Structure 1
Amino acid sequence: MTKKCNPVVYFEIPVTDIDRAIQFYKSVFNFTFEREIIDNNEMALFPFVEENTGISGALAKGEIYNPTHNGVVIYFNTENIDKTLKIAIESGGQMLYPKTSNGDLGFVAEFEDSEGNRIALHQPLNK
């Protein structure tokens, strides 16, 4: 019998300047990254803790990776969406979709990262 799990297990965010992208995500979310070369592509792996819920992924630089507003949208959790948006903009990002109520689920917002990707935020309601 196979273990039931959520369908998404990993993501990659395309970048053109991996050092700039690492600095951006470190500034906005205080992430640390582990750098790797995978199939001749530069990767900066987001933190991952086996015991925690959710998935992880990487910043990815290579011939097949093209930043865009038109692809999949990744949502990052935040405890304070206003503060996170402010830091993203101060770090070179641009507001794409302002903080908006998502009903009982909390709040969402979107910004453009340093590489031109549409990135979303989610802040759950404090219950």
Structure 2
Amino acid sequence: MSTEDNRTWNPVEWFEIYVTDMDRANAFYGDVVQRDFTPAPMSGGDMEMWFFAAERGAEGAAGGLIRHPMRSPNAEGTLVYFSVDDCAAVTDRAVAHGSDVVVGKQSIGEMGFIAIITDSEGNSIGLHSWR
């Protein structure tokens, strides 16, 4: 485990969520999980990438939305969980964008609550909240 400035880094450093329609995905994630994006400087050619806003040393993992012909969205791959204020409220916003609810808000005991939904591109994503 590496440390910098006496901090232990999250073992997950980077994630990519594959999309086919970047505008639609930006609208979905911007409204549903209420996160800002920045176009990546390495976008170009067949690839387009937008980063979730993050700062080095901040808690959590960094990542982004990626459009690339070599990777397609799907509902059966790795599940990324987003930290949200309330899984039920976020699920309602997602449904308004056409999402399917895979697992509605449910308690996971002392660890809070989770829900699993589909995004605008067909990926499954997890939601975690403490209330």
TM above 0.5, one fold? yes
Call closer, same or farther: CA 1:73–1:55 in 2, change over 3 Å.
Answer: same
* SS at structure 1 position matched to 2:28: helix
Could you report, residue by residue, the CA deviation over 1:34-90 in whole angstroms, capped at 9, with x for unpaired residues? Answer: 112068410011110235311110000001221111100000001111110000110
Cα distance in 1, alignment partners of residues 17 and 49 from structure 2: 10
Could you report, residue by residue, the CA deviation over 1:75-123 in whole angstroms, capped at 9, with x for unpaired residues? Answer: 0001111110000110121111111111100000000000000000001
2:74 is the counterpart of 1:72:
no
Cα distance in 1, alignment partners of residues 2 and 74 from structure 2: 36
Q: What is residue 27 of structure 1 aligned with on the other side? A: 31
Q: What is residue 52 of structure 1 aligned with on the other side? A: 58
Could you report, residue by residue, the CA deviation over 1:10-37 in whole angstroms, capped at 9, with x for unpaired residues? Answer: 0000000011000111111222211120
2:97 is the counterpart of 1:91:
yes
* SS at structure 2 position matched to 1:89: helix
Gaps of 5+ in 2: none
* SS at structure 2 position matched to 1:100: strand
Is the CA contact 2:17–2:65 (under 8 Å) kept in the aligned structure 1?
A: yes
Cα distance in 1, alignment partners of residues 10 and 54 from structure 2: 16
Range with bigger deviation, 29-38 or 102-111: 29-38
Q: What is residue 18 of structure 1 aligned with on the other side? A: 22
Is the CA contact 2:9–2:57 (under 8 Å) kept in the aligned structure 1?
A: no
Amino acid at match of 2:23: D
Q: Provide runs of 4+ in structure 1 moved above 6 Å.
A: none
Percent of pairs with identical residues: 34
**Alignment match of 1:117 (pick from 105, 110, 123):** 123
**Alignment match of 1:100 (pick from 94, 98, 106):** 106
Aligned length: 125
Gaps of 5+ in 1: none
Is the CA contact 2:114–2:126 (under 8 Å) kept in the aligned structure 1?
A: yes
Call closer, same or farther: CA 1:2–1:102 in 2, change over 3 Å.
Answer: closer
